[in-house]
Each structure stands twice: as C-alpha cells, then as structure tokens.
Structure 1
Amino acid sequence: MAWFVVIAAGLFEVAMAYSLKLSDGFAQPLPSVGFAVFAVLSFGLLAFALKSLDVGTAYAVWTGIGAVGTATLGMLILGEEASVVRIVSIVLIVCGVVGLNLAGGAH
C-alpha cells in the first residue's frame, strides 16, 4: 500500500512541476494554485508513506518518478529536445531506482 502512495506522490510531483512551468513565474493564477495544491498533495502523500518505508529508498523512488515523469512530459508535451543523451539519462535514473529497491530498501 505504501508504495502505491509513493507512486501517487511522484505523479503529483510531475503535476506540480508542470503547473510551475504553466504558472509563468506565478503570473498565471490557476496554474499557480495548481502548483500549490499538487505540492501539498505530493509532500503529504510522501510523508504518509514514510511512516512505513525507509526514507532513502522511498525518497529516491519519489524523486525518480518526478524527474523521469517531468523530463518525459517536457519532451512529449512541451517540445523539449528528445536527444539520445536525455533518453539514456532517463533510463539510468530508472535503473538506479530499481537498483535501490533490489538492494533491500523495499519492504
């Protein structure tokens, strides 16, 4: 159950980053409010999950989902460059998070 909460928290982190981009430096009210809501949800869910998970592994999964999701969203929706180096780097982040889980940090 806690891992599903961490995954949801990571997805809210992606929504938070996307809202931050759309807020235009907090000049746009709706995306700015979205940023705040998604930030509270993301951090709140992570805090809840940390009641039963190791902080190092859970935090790595949370940030990994945020980093991979935001970078992918940027390439697919925001027109950011999708170079080989970027894609390989995303794969390396995923491998690192999986490696941490295989190393015994998951319950």
Structure 2
Amino acid sequence: MNWIILIIGGLFEVGFTFSLGKAKASTGNTAYLWYSIFVICLITSIYMLMKATETLPLGTAYAVWTGIGAMGTVLLGIVVFQEPATLLRVFFIATLIGSIIGLKAVSPH
C-alpha cells in the first residue's frame, strides 16, 4: 500500500511542477489559481512521501519519489511546453524508469 501512496505522491510532485510552469506563463487571477494548485500539490506530495517512509526505506522512497517527479516533469515539458524530445533525453528518461523499477524490485518491502 505504501508503494501506491509513494507513486501517487510522485504524481503530485509532477502536478506541482506543472502548475508552477503554468503559473509562470499566466497573469492576474489565473496565475494565482495556478499558484494555489501548486501549494496544494506540494503539500500533498510531501505528506504522501512522509507517509510512505513510515514503512519504506527513506533512501529508496525518496529516490523513487524524485524519479517519478523528474520523469513526469520532463515528459510534461515535452508534451505540454514543447520542450525538445531529443534522442538522449528519451534515453535518459528510459534509464530513469528502469532505475525506479529496479529500486522497487530490490526493496525488502
């Protein structure tokens, strides 16, 4: 169950980086809305990481949480913000996914 909580927390990390990018591109009330979403996602993400580390090893949980956030942020950057999808970027995203799966596989929990 804590792996699911950790994965959802990682997705909220993607949510707070995405909303930060949208807030930066917005003005007025729209920017405040995106900043509000940023704060909600940030608090939720950190809380879920904290809950997951009650039973999962801290180093593994943090690496997976950060990896999900990094991978999701890069993918959203490519899809939503039209950042370049070079061969090397895709390669390193794939190695990051492999590393996350590997950490889960060798975790004792």
User: TM-score w.r.t. structure 2 length?
Assistant: 0.90
How many Å separate the matches in 2 of 1:40 and 1:26? 22
Q: Is 1:105 paired with 2:82?
A: no
Q: Which runs of 4+ in 1 moved over 4 A?
A: none
Displacement of 1:84: 0.3
RMSD: 1.6
For residues 2-55 of structure 1, give each alpha carbon's deviation from its aligned partner in whole angstroms, at most 9, with x where no partner exists.
Answer: 000000000000000001111118961011111100000000011011111101
How many Å separate the matches in 1 of 2:65 and 2:14? 10
- Counterpart mapping for 1:1-107 below 5 A: 1-24=1-24, 28-102=31-105, 104-107=106-109
How many Å separate the matches in 1 of 2:56 and 2:71? 21
How many Å separate the matches in 1 of 2:50 and 2:22? 26
Q: Which amino acid aligns with 2:9?
A: A
In structure 2, the gaps of 5 or more residues are none
How many Å separate the matches in 2 of 1:79 and 1:31? 19
In structure 1, the gaps of 5 or more residues are none
- Residues 77 and 99 of structure 1: is their aligned pair in 2 closer, same or farther, counting only changes over 3 Å? same
Counting aligned pairs with the same residue, the percent is 37
Displacement of 1:98: 2.1
User: TM-score w.r.t. structure 1 length?
Assistant: 0.92
Aligned residues, how many?
Answer: 106
